[in-house]
Amino acid sequence: MVNVLPEPGTPIQDFETPALVVDLDVAEANIRKMQAFANQHGTGLRPHSKTHKSPYWAHKQLDAGAIGITCSKVGEAEVLVDGGVTEVLIANEIVGKKKIARLARLEERANVVVAVDSAEVARDLSVAAEAQGVTIGVLVDVNVRISRCGVEPGEPSTTLAKIVDRLPGVRFDGLMGYEGHVTAETAEKRRIVSEAMAKFKFAKDEIESDGLPVRIMSAGGTSTYVDSAKTDHVTEMQCGSYIFMDGSYLDEMSDFDQALTVLSMTISRPTATRAVLDIGRKSMNSESGLPRVVSPAGAQLERLNEEHGILALAEEAQSLAIEDLVHLLPMSAAMTINIHDHYFCVRNGILEEVVPIAARGRFW
């Protein structure tokens, strides 16, 4: 197979396209800004890696002060641990003896904590941990708002916490209560998060009233980080999308800047008002809406086929020629990243490093 990856020092205009491009200065500034906010409010930051899916970015977050990294799947945790990350939270239920055995093996090289919302899975974790001779940390997953996974706060969460605490090979570390993506205006968002975190605190208080200490209270995402960090009983946040931002998040908030674009090339100019790009649904997710044209001005993406992107050109963009580059902003960064193999990391338009998206496709 021919290697089409550019060498460091290559200017962006010489990249093969489509290419997933990250402005390192912007991404690193976003990392520092979120970490500074968490530090200011005395809250740990355990960034979610389901967006970037890469130990490269995880280490940048850890170097900035993150207390660990969050992921969703055992396969993602394996990539992180193989990449030298030693503090990992799997913020999802891991079910099935084979997956749980893989998780237990990871404990020999890292502290991997996992969310649980059933006694059955907690017992399976205990058996696997005992067989491997390790201890697996557990957070009881509490349903505080979005009615996805999670036990209800109160008696159900207290009962499960006590079961976990009594099992050999597992360690009750605390609770997870993700309030979900909240898109409301500031006052309404504050009310929604406050209600969710009140349920979270109720779960904690009920467990502690039975004499079981709750060390970790893990919550918070990019859309709710301000209110989550200001909640006294939240000990850590799992924000992830802030690192790159995308069209959906930039429509909601201006706290962090756009760091990621997809670079495409014009391959056809059939009419004065239409251009065709070398990008389609196989290289750009459009589930959350069509990507936006960052440059040139005056161009708008009308549709994506499998391999083609169709641009409508206003008068100012009608000078676009074959081989000209077009920068696109995905509406969902995470879904677009997961269909690419590499990041092309640039400073001032010059390639600094090609970074593998090492956990791409690790949904098992």
How far apart, in whole angstroms, are the C-alpha atoms of residue 200 and residue 152? 10
Angle between helices 119-132 and 97-106 (to 10 degrees): 50
User: For residue 323, what are its two tokens?
Assistant: 């081989």
pLDDT tens-digit profile of 326-350?
Answer: 999 999 999 999 999 999 999 999 9
Q: Give the per-residue pLDDT at 323.
A: 98
Q: Give the per-residue pLDDT at 56.
A: 98
Say if residue 1's pLDDT is above 60: no
Q: Give the per-residue pLDDT at 32.
A: 98
Query: Where are any strands of DSSP class E within the chain?
Result: 19-23, 44-45, 69-71, 87-93, 111-116, 136-141, 170-176, 216-219, 236-237, 260-271, 274-277, 292-295, 299-304, 309-313, 325-329, 342-347, 350-356
pLDDT tens-digit profile of 212-224?
Answer: 999 999 999 999 9
pLDDT tens-digit profile of 56-115?
Answer: 999 999 999 999 999 999 999 999 999 999 999 999 999 999 999 999 999 999 999 999
Name the more confident of 316 and 200.
200
Q: Give the per-residue pLDDT at 2.
A: 65
Angle between helices 155-166 and 119-132 (to 10 degrees): 20
How far apart, in whole angstroms, are the C-alpha atoms of residue 170 and residue 132? 12
Amino acid present at 21: V
Tell me what percent of the residues of the chain surpass a pLDDT of 70: 99
Q: Give the per-residue pLDDT at 190.
A: 95
Mean predicted lDDT score pLDDT of the chain:
97
pLDDT tens-digit profile of 141-179?
Answer: 999 999 999 999 999 999 999 999 999 999 999 999 999
Phi, psi of 38 (to 5 degrees): -60, -45
- Kindly state the average pLDDT of the residues 189-210: 97
pLDDT tens-digit profile of 232-285?
Answer: 999 999 999 999 999 999 999 999 999 999 999 999 999 999 999 999 999 999
